[in-house]
């Protein structure tokens, strides 16, 4: 019975040791996932800041266009050169091209943000999964307890084995004593008679 319990404890000890060996790998993966989450968060923030910069630049260009359309001053509000109709048209065309480029860049930035947000969500999901796996793993203290219990059981089994070994010649001794008793021819009965 003790040997059976020892085999069970040794099996449990091996299982715990294997699971604990996975802890280092999972912690390395978790650190990598945590780093990816931080990098993606920073990248998304940078993209959003770039998006805000594009918005500000586009607003300035739109404001210039509004001024160019409505102003009747002899000097250009942009470059302070004489404002002719051709110069006004050139500036408005240049601003229109800039706005188109900014709109394209804005759309690209939004797509980048969307992709990085999806990557961030996937990385966060992976991080949560790794955290769950790490929480389910046994602790070193549990392995230590099982190891100590197995060692106590080994000591107990060794003591029992020593006792069994010391009693191994007990049947022969018992037969010898029985023979001696038989040789005495039942002294109680003789004393009673």
Question: What is the model's pLDDT at position 160?
Answer: 82
Tell me which residues of the chain have a pLDDT lower than 50: none
Question: What is the model's pLDDT at position 45?
Answer: 93
Question: What is the model's pLDDT at position 118?
Answer: 93
Question: What is the model's pLDDT at position 121?
Answer: 93
Calculate the average pLDDT of the chain.
Answer: 83
Question: What is the model's pLDDT at position 77?
Answer: 64
DSSP per residue over 24-68, as a string? Answer: HHHHHHHHHHHHHHHHHHHHHHHHHHHHHHHHHHHHHHHHHHHHH
């Amino acid at each position: 019975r003790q040997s059976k319990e020892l085999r069970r404890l040794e099996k449990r000890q091996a299982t715990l040791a294997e699971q604990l060996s996975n802890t280092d790998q999972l912690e390395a993966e978790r650190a990598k996932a945590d780093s990816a989450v931080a990098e993606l968060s920073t990248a998304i923030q940078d993209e959003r800041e770039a998006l805000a910069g594009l918005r500000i630049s586009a607003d300035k260009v739109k404001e210039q266009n509004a001024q160019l359309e409505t102003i009747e001053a002899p000097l250009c509000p942009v470059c302070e050169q004489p404002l002719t109709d051709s110069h006004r048209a050139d500036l408005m065309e240049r601003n229109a091209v800039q706005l188109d480029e900014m709109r394209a860049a804005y759309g690209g930035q939004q797509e980048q943000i969307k992709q990085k947000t999806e990557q961030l969500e996937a990385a966060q999901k992976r991080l949560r999964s790794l955290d769950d796996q790490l929480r389910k793993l046994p602790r070193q203290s549990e392995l230590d307890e099982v190891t100590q219990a197995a060692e106590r059981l080994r000591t107990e089994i060794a003591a029992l084995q020593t006792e069994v070994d010391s009693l191994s010649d007990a049947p022969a001794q018992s037969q010898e004593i029985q023979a001696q008793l038989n040789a005495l021819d039942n002294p109680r009965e003789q004393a009673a008679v």
